[in-house]
Structure 1
């Protein structure tokens, strides 16, 4: 996603995120959930769960539905596609996603 004035920011060491889990990063007052899969792929999306109104998605359950990597909200269990941010149970709900990468043993987020 191309954003004006966006810059890569170091979030944490890659080893700080256990495989199949997420962490929350606070960037410019915004909470962003960053997830690491077992194969070390990284994904980032809004931490705000629009169904519950809580900032909890980084604590959700990471999984796979039909080949699509997802996170299940810890509150009402909606599944959000990690690639697109789309809610699988509600086509009208999509979370913003962010570019994220591992570089030199660290996790970097474009925000």
Structure 2
């Protein structure tokens, strides 16, 4: 059975704006990003194109009003809100729900 739970991952203050950080929830690697406006996003850390767990080292930016991260390997650009690749509509990265509660970052990811 696949259930969704919110897990405290880190303090909000340790997330630097426009930078990514990797976290482990169970056996799942998550990439967390805090954008310049203070919003926190979570994607899977696995880059589906290169096959490497590197998304937390991606380049944070935007395309228009869309917050993005570019893979550090082959530079595909992904929507931080949805995980949709903006360069190839057939490619996505799982995106996870994020809440900041009492200064703690909580990520909702299904159990493995």
- Give the 4+ runs in structure 1 shifted more than 4 A: none
Q: Report how many residues are paired.
A: 109
Q: Distance in 1 between matches of 2:48 and 2:42?
A: 16
Provide TM-score, normalisation by structure 1: 0.93
Q: Distance in 2 between matches of 1:40 and 1:27?
A: 22
1:26-69 per-residue CA deviation (whole Å, 9 max, x = no partner) reads: 11101111110111111111110011110000110100112110
Structural mapping, 1:1-111, within 5 Å? 4-111=2-109
User: Secondary structure in 1 aligned to 2:23?
Assistant: strand
Structure showing the higher strand proportion among its residues: 1
User: Secondary structure in 1 aligned to 2:4?
Assistant: coil
Contact persistence 2:12–2:100 (CA under 8 A): yes
Q: Where in structure 2 are there 5+ consecutive unaligned residues?
A: none
For residue 90 of structure 1, report the CA deviation from its aligned partner. Answer: 0.6
Contact persistence 2:48–2:92 (CA under 8 A): no
Q: Distance in 1 between matches of 2:90 and 2:74?
A: 16
Q: Compute the RMSD of aligned alpha carbons.
A: 1.3
Provide TM-score, normalisation by structure 2: 0.92
